[in-house]
Amino acid sequence: MVGKRLRFETDNPTEFVDITDRLRDEVQRAGLWIGRLHIQSLHTTLGIAINENEPLLLRDFEALLERLAPVGAGYQHDDFARRFDIAADEPENGHAHCRQLLLTGFATLLVEDGELVLGRWQSVFAVELDGPRQRQLAIQLDGEFAQAQRRHRKDSSENLVELELSRQLLVDPEPVSAPMRRLVEAGGKRLRPRLVQLTAGIGPRTEPLRAAALAAAVELLHNATLIHDDYVDESTHRRGRPTVAAAEGPERAVAVGDYYFAKATRLIAEIGNRSVTSTIAEALEAICASQIDDVALRGAFPGDHDSYLRVVRGKTAALFAAACASGAQLSEASPEIIDALRRYGDLVGVAFQMADDMVDFSPSSGKPVGLDIRQRVLSLPLIYAAEDREVGPEVRRLLAGALGDAEVGRVAELVASSGALERVKGEAQALVDAAVQELETIELDGLRPILISLARSAVDRNA
Amino acid sequence: MSAVNVVTRELERLEGLWEDGLSDAYRSYLEAVSEFESADQPRLALAAALIEVGIRLQGLGGRAAAAPTLLMGDLCLARSSRLLADAAPHSVQVAFARAIEEMSVAAASERPAPQIRNLLVRAFEAR
């Protein structure tokens, strides 16, 4: 609900002030999408009318008012001798009060799709009956505002994905669905399905249910890769819960990962869009190839910037890019839009991974500091610290040896003191800026602000 | 493009597997794909062979492979998926996925797995 005052000045004793455009502005400014605009005169000699703004007709109205309640027609209200508490400047305006009785002091106007609902010839007038004066109208706008509308759409589409995920897990055999359900229910940012859903609304063919099916499949695929990843990295916890490999053994982890890899590709094939199937399949291949590179690079830990980018482009960014491109392909967007969104996803994906690397050095992240160091996971802050002229030699010496708590703590300190975190942060921000630039050249049907916000939130882990 | 060229190009990073059972598996599926367009046959036979070799590498249904070998198996499955996306009708893609699902559920349930080659040959019949 939004409340305001509309102030204006009249120039004549009787005057029809057309306030339609000002009311339209208020609806737009408030972002009211669907609802009502209430207006109420705050004066006893100011009426409200909805009628046609045609000058001769307005003179007819004025004449009508004059006929029905003429000026100086012996109104008792104007007999000051018989009234109490009269102000010094009290006007003789019995006619104006009587005329107001013939009009109305309030009105409710409907708003739909962000516009006042008015007929072709309808205008809204404040009718001055005792001017000239300073006047004000109270207005209130209530209903669903654009921001809430966007939030509602976002909530609805996110709910669709969650429902689709639950539905798919419900029909799967327990030995595979139980571990996956634990992982899915433990949370996660759901950035990839969100990207699918957003980009699936860009082209001319918008089908929320197919988009939700694709989004859920992409999320299942992502989780399937995590299950194998956790076994490879010997991780014991993910999203605050034991990993499938740690809780149920590597054999179960292999089987659950394979099942959901296959199921996700099946769900995507069942959508029946060959471009979408190819896009996701290519991303999956890039992910798997990069995981091999990632493990191979651990021999040269912490690696270098180029190797880091090559691995991250495949391991993380490929699915971000595919999520963006496949959603747009599903909606039959133009090739230019699909390509721009693919580049946007790639840049956001790399930035996301850089931000994720920084979390490992943040005591307030809720995760143990230095987990990536301990597991010798590719990490850009670590690469920069190892290259640093001052702290680099000590970082490299520590990483070359056994990594106990003391060594991990010392490496984290050196990374923090080297300025590496600020450097990575700046690089991630620059990638987000480049991703936003990609959106500048294409028509996105109002989705640009959401995609920009999503890109920024990918690197802002406090968001 | 000849079948040899197609297979050679698709073996990038998996070359070592060719002599380690992949070529035998590939040849065994050629008959099952004889009804498909001739240009698609090498890719489809290779897709099936990669699944067979991939799940063997991973140790699905047996002892889980060590990390690097598991990742090679993952890459086999992923490449197979891409080959199917390129060359297989939608119905065959679905049938292949169902075959892997069946193998995976058997492994997760600690039940004997069906013969993968039989499953995949049947999957080609879904065209």
Q: Is the pLDDT of residue A461 over 70?
A: no
Q: In B, which residues are within 8 Å of A251 by CB distance?
A: 59, 62-64, 107
Among chain A residues, the shortest Cα distance to B81 is held by: A281
**Which regions of chain A carry the CATH code 1.10.600.10?**
172-459
Q: Is the pLDDT of residue A342 over 50?
A: yes
Q: In B, which residues are within 8 Å of A255 by CB distance?
A: 60-61, 104-105, 107-108
Burial class (CB in 10 A: 0-12, 13-18, 19+), A105: middle
Q: Is the pLDDT of residue A54 over 70?
A: yes
Q: In A, which residues are within 8 Å of B101 by CB distance?
A: 259, 262-263, 266
Q: How far is A307 from chain B (nearest CA, A)?
A: 17
Average pLDDT over residues A285-305: 90
More confident of the two residues A15 and A239: A15
Q: In A, which residues are within 8 Å of B103 by CB distance?
A: 258
CB A46 within 8 A of CB A126: yes
Indicate yes or no: CB of A176 within 8 angstroms of CB of B105: yes
pLDDT in tens, B38-52: 999 999 999 999 999
More confident of the two residues A260 and A378: A260
B41 touches chain A (CB under 8 A): no
B43 touches chain A (CB under 8 A): no
Q: Is the pLDDT of residue A150 over 80?
A: no
Nearest to A370 by CA among A398, A400, A405, A397: A405
% of chain A with per-residue pLDDT over 70: 97
Point out the least confidently predicted range of A164-178, A203-217, A308-322, A432-446: A432-446
Q: In A, which residues are within 8 Å of B17 by CB distance?
A: none
DSSP B49-92: HHHHHHHHHHTTTSSPPPHHHHHHHHHHHHHHHHHHHHHS-HHH
Indicate yes or no: CB of B64 within 8 angstroms of CB of A251: yes
**Any idea where the domains of chain B sit in the sequence?**
3-124
Average pLDDT over residues A129-155: 83
Average pLDDT over residues A446-453: 86
The pLDDT assigned to A1 comes to 82
CB B108 within 8 A of CB A328: no
Domain A172-459 CATH superfamily: Farnesyl Diphosphate Synthase (1.10.600.10)
Point out the least confidently predicted range of A25-39, A243-257, A279-293, B66-80: A25-39
Indicate yes or no: CB of B82 within 8 angstroms of CB of A284: yes
Q: In B, which residues are within 8 Å of A274 by CB distance?
A: 85, 90
CB B52 within 8 A of CB B25: yes
Average pLDDT over residues A404-419: 93
Q: What token pair was written down for A137?
A: 């109208």
The pLDDT assigned to A463 comes to 42
**Which regions of chain A carry the CATH code 2.60.120.460?**
2-147
- Identify the residue among B60, B82, B86 best suited for mutation to test binding to A, counting A beta carbons within 10 A and taking the highest: B82
The CATH class of the A2-147 domain is mainly beta
Residues 6+ apart with CB under 8 A from A440: none
% of chain A with per-residue pLDDT over 90: 74
Q: Is the pLDDT of residue A279 over 80?
A: yes
ipTM over the 0.95 cut-off: yes
pLDDT in tens, A205-238: 989 999 999 999 999 999 999 999 999 988 888 8
